[in-house]
Amino acid sequence: MNGINKIPKEKINEIKNSVDIVDVISSYIPLTTSGKNYFGVCPFHDDTNPSMSVSREKQIYTCFSCGASGTVFNFIMDYENVNFIQALKMCADIGGIDLNINSIKIKDDTKYKELYDMYEIACKLYQNNINTQYGSLAKKYLLDRKIDQKIIKDFKIGLALNNYDLLAKLLIKKGYNEPFLTDSGLVVKKNLDYYDSFFDRIIFPIEDVNGKIVGFSGRIYKDDPNKKEAKYKNTKETKIFKKGQVLYNYRIAKEEARKEGYVIIMEGFMDLFRAYQIGVKNVVISMGTAVTKEQASLLKRMAKDIILCFDGDSAGEKASYACANELLELGITPKIVRLEENLDPDEYILKYGKEKFLEKIKNPLNIMEFKLNYLKNNKNLDSEIDMSKYINEVLDEVKKIDDDILLELTLRKLSNETKLDIDFLKSKLNKKEKNKNEQKTKVEKKNNNMYIKAEQNLLYYMLISTEVIKMYQKKVAYMPTDNYRKLAREINYFYKENGYINVSDLMIVLNDNIELLNTIKEINMLNLKENYTVEEIEDYIKIIKQFNIEDESKRLKELMIMEIDPVKKAEIAQKILEIKKLENEIGEDE
């Protein structure tokens, strides 16, 4: 939450109190009332059930499936992919509060200002190049590919001339030197000279989620049999450019995807430009060979449905299969479009036009339809060996799907295909799941430890009640679990400083402490009843004190075994007796 220290705490609270989290979130996703809270389908993971709870009383949201939780600012930051200052400004505008963010310096922008500026300079140089006589051949290449002037302008497409140090000289002239020159990824140093990283290539600028240029991708456009070079070359990873954290065209595609309800992932720049040219703007390109966790997070926030539209050849099919599996592991169940005649999207649109392409997009294969077809490749299903392999592979794939209806439909289809009884297939699937479920049960048992549960429940009520905070202060000297102990300390400090407790206000104060914010999210997910009795709280406190006594007793006994000095041994024995006395008194009223 960069820049938060520049804004008075009172101003932040004024802005937070000027909006209602229920009203704000309901402007993004539909919410329905259930008791005191509101529920909706969480936009931060692939889901169809209303697992996100929004509390008007607490002014926080919590997803009981993926764990997403926070204040109105957190929701806007995660949904819109903006920083804290931008989310604060958006809330201020909703609440009618005047907030001038132009005077607030964002930490990261200041830290990497020189790099951002260098990329702006480079982009303008490349754009200028393509519009000169030296860029005529590159522009002709684009126009021959039916990439028109509007696309060139909208995507800031440029050209690195066939000149090895044009940009390097410009940057040096503007006062940039080591380490910025080589750290930028724009310039390389050989011996004592500087050379441009890109030359004689058409340049596509790459923007981060905030629309800042952070990298380039350069494409060759001349046929030269004497040169053996990659078709595309990307900027090396730098402090501001991490391929796995960006999606090409995210800035433009974001709003379009929300309007349409889906986002399309393609493989190539030309595919994306062709789709954009026919008005399909909700398209992005992954910048790496595999979809990363960060990219999946961006995709989830863009739209509910993710559609893969890769090349129609066998390589595109393999890429679709690999990408689909990557997305499944990251909590996204994609749909897939397969194009006929081995055509890529660029070729398909040029040959068949907008309407036929949109028809393909609006009728994608579900993940298991695609996988059933894919797994049949290179198999003779008249062969018992191949058929057995096919069945086992399908069952392995079905396990990855978190959709009971799709699972049932797939098993029925497999049953019809193979003439095997569906109950047999289900039993086979259940057998494969057995070890996984046993492991899950062990984890759940571990998490249900009575001492852990007592700490969690006590913290839950400390986050909503000053009475419980006072009981903790008076009767609990030590919380056994490290992260719970830290959170209890922060709750106490907040109460001491402010005279009240409010979980959303506390989360804002702890904005940069990821560990404690995650602990609060964990506690919020308990979803306990709001009302408590003093007797319940006393029970939690007694359990915690019991654990502390047992733990200390165990420590002293181990110490006594190791101690050889008889006097010190007697002192430890006395402490053990005192501990036992406390243990006997634990059941009495405090």
Which CATH number belongs to the domain containing residue 12 in this structure? 3.90.580.10
Do residues 174 and 141 lie in contact, with contact meaning Cβ atoms separated by under 8 Å?
A: no
Residue 504: both structure tokens together:
């959303």
251-270: average pLDDT: 92
One-letter amino acid for residue 347 of the chain: E
Kindly state whether residue 370 falls inside one of the protein's structural domains. Answer: no
The total number of structural domains in the chain stands at 5
- Where a domain ends, among 395, 415, 444? 444
CATH code, domain carrying 464: 1.10.860
Residue 195 β-bridge partners: 188
Kindly state whether residue 564 falls inside one of the protein's structural domains. Answer: yes
Give percent above pLDDT 70 in the chain: 90
pLDDT at 443: 43
User: What gap in Å lies between CA 334 and CA 394, rounded to an integer?
Assistant: 17
User: What gap in Å lies between CA 523 and CA 501, rounded to an integer?
Assistant: 15
Higher-pLDDT residue of 439, 483: 483
Residue 160 has pLDDT above 50, yes or no: yes
Output 471-474 pairs: Cβ under 8 A, ≥24 positions apart.
Answer: 471/534, 471/537, 471/538, 471/541, 472/541
User: What gap in Å lies between CA 147 and CA 491, rounded to an integer?
Assistant: 59
Lowest mean pLDDT among 99-108, 143-152, 532-541: 99-108
Residue 408 has pLDDT above 80, yes or no: yes
Q: Do 401 and 459 fall into the same domain?
A: no
Q: Do 81 and 185 fall into the same domain?
A: no
User: What gap in Å lies between CA 357 and CA 269, rounded to an integer?
Assistant: 17
Lowest mean pLDDT among 39-48, 110-119, 512-521: 39-48
Residue 434's pLDDT band (cuts 50, 70, 90): low
For residue 581, the SS3 value is helix
Q: Do 129 and 216 fall into the same domain?
A: yes
For residue 141, the SS3 value is helix
DSSP 219-285: E--S--TT----SEEEPPP-SS--GGG-EETHHHHHHHHHHHTEEEEES-HHHHHHHHHTT---EEE
Q: Do 399 and 464 fall into the same domain?
A: no
Strand order, beta sheet including 335-337: 247-248, 283-286, 262-266, 305-309, 335-337
Kindly state whether residue 371 falls inside one of the protein's structural domains. Answer: no
pLDDT at 178: 86
Kindly state whether residue 372 falls inside one of the protein's structural domains. Answer: no
Kindly list the distances between the CA atom of residue 401 and the CA atoms of 259, 330, 436, in Å, as whole numbers in the listed order: 27, 12, 15
pLDDT at 537: 92
Do residues 202 and 159 lie in contact, with contact meaning Cβ atoms separated by under 8 Å?
A: yes
Q: Do 356 and 257 fall into the same domain?
A: yes
User: What gap in Å lies between CA 438 and CA 218, rounded to an integer?
Assistant: 51
Q: Which position has the token pair 């004190």?
A: 545
Residue 446's pLDDT band (cuts 50, 70, 90): very low
Q: At what angle do helices 482-498 and 466-475 cross, to 10 degrees?
A: 120
Kindly state whether residue 545 falls inside one of the protein's structural domains. Answer: yes
pLDDT at 1: 45
Q: Do 461 and 421 fall into the same domain?
A: no
Q: Do 458 and 555 fall into the same domain?
A: yes
Q: Do 484 and 465 fall into the same domain?
A: yes
CATH code, domain carrying 225: 3.90.980.10
CA 1 to chain centre: 16
Q: Which position has the token pair 């000149």?
A: 163
Kindly state whether residue 590 falls inside one of the protein's structural domains. Answer: no
Residue 447's pLDDT band (cuts 50, 70, 90): very low
User: What gap in Å lies between CA 474 and CA 137, rounded to an integer?
Assistant: 80
Widest Cα–Cα separation across the chain: 96
Q: Do 390 and 307 fall into the same domain?
A: no
- Where a domain ends, among 444, 472, 497? 444
Residue 483: both structure tokens together:
């992260």
B/e letters for 173-208, b = 16+ CB within 10 Å, e = fewer, are eeebeeebbebbbbbeeeeeebebbbbbbbbbbbbb
Q: Do 391 and 494 fall into the same domain?
A: no
150-173: average pLDDT: 95
Give percent above pLDDT 90 in the chain: 48
- Where a domain ends, among 80, 108, 136? 108
Q: Do 166 and 273 fall into the same domain?
A: no
Residue 10: give the domain boundaries.
4-108
pLDDT at 18: 93
Q: Do 573 and 506 fall into the same domain?
A: yes
Higher-pLDDT residue of 397, 217: 217
Kindly list the distances between the CA atom of residue 544 and the CA atoms of 98, 493, 541, in Å, as whole numbers in the listed order: 47, 21, 5
pLDDT at 169: 95
For the chain, the average pLDDT equals 86
Kindly state whether residue 425 falls inside one of the protein's structural domains. Answer: yes
537-563: average pLDDT: 79
CA count, 13 A, side-chain hemisphere, 334: 28
Q: Cβ contacts of residue 398 below 8 Å, gap of 6+?
A: 368, 407, 410, 411, 429
pLDDT at 307: 97
Do residues 189 and 182 lie in contact, with contact meaning Cβ atoms separated by under 8 Å?
A: yes
471-483: average pLDDT: 84
| Best-predicted range by mean pLDDT (84-88, 176-180, 343-347, 509-513) | 343-347
Closest CA to 245 of 298, 283, 205, 281: 298
User: What gap in Å lies between CA 15 and CA 251, rounded to an integer?
Assistant: 26
Kindly state whether residue 373 falls inside one of the protein's structural domains. Answer: no
List pLDDT tens digits, range 304-363: 899 999 999 999 999 999 999 989 888 789 999 999 999 999 999 999 999 999 999 999
